């Protein structure tokens, strides 16, 4: 088990809830994570069983391609989430798609290196109006003939 009872590397296929909402004294909302106060992307890396961003980069080859599905909850619709994800993903060479769901959440499938996917999560979380309350993720088989990243 990873710190604070989160699922570690052996549980990659199981959905994972990684974050919870918080706000500071200025009224700005952000994310509070069990593994790190720095933000959900670093917590996500640690959640997978790595001690730091540096050790993660060293332990995973930048050329190892993976596909992961993310399910985001919170204030993620009507705030530019999908377009921010598309812009960041296309700039990083990540393929996949993102779409709004009927329940107010957003689903995203992204394919790239682990390092690229971590940077994508950081970029998506950087939006001023985006408030992510929770993230679930699961690994998927690779899509061989996929080009670009699209909003559905």
**Torsion (CA) 76, 83, 27, 42 in degrees, nearest 10:** 80
Q: Is 68 assigned a catalytic role?
A: no
User: Which has the closest alpha carbon to 76: 36, 116, 28, 135?
Assistant: 135
The angle formed by the CA atoms of residues 6, 92 and 2, to the nearest 5 degrees, is 10
Which residue out of 16, 46, 68, 82 is catalytically annotated?
82
Q: Is 82 assigned a catalytic role?
A: yes
The total of other beta-carbon atoms located within 10 Å of residue 91's CB is 12
Residue 109: CA count within 13 A, CB half-sphere: 13
> Active-site positions?
82, 100
């Amino acid at each position: 088990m990873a710190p604070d009872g989160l699922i570690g590397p052996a549980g990659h296929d199981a959905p994972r809830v990684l974050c919870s909402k918080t706000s500071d004294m200025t009224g700005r909302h952000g994310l509070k994570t069990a593994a790190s106060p720095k933000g959900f992307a670093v917590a996500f890396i640690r959640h997978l069983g790595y001690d730091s961003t540096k050790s993660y980069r060293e332990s995973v080859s930048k050329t190892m391609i993976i596909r992961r599905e993310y399910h985001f909850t919170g204030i993620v619709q009507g705030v530019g989430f999908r377009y921010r994800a598309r812009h960041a993903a296309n700039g990083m060479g990540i393929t996949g798609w993102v779409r709004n769901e009927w329940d107010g959440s957003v689903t995203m499938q992204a394919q790239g290196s682990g390092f690229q996917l971590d940077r994508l999560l950081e970029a998506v979380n950087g939006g001023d109006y985006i408030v992510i309350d929770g993230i679930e993720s699961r690994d998927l088989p690779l899509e061989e003939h996929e080009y670009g990243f699209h909003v559905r």
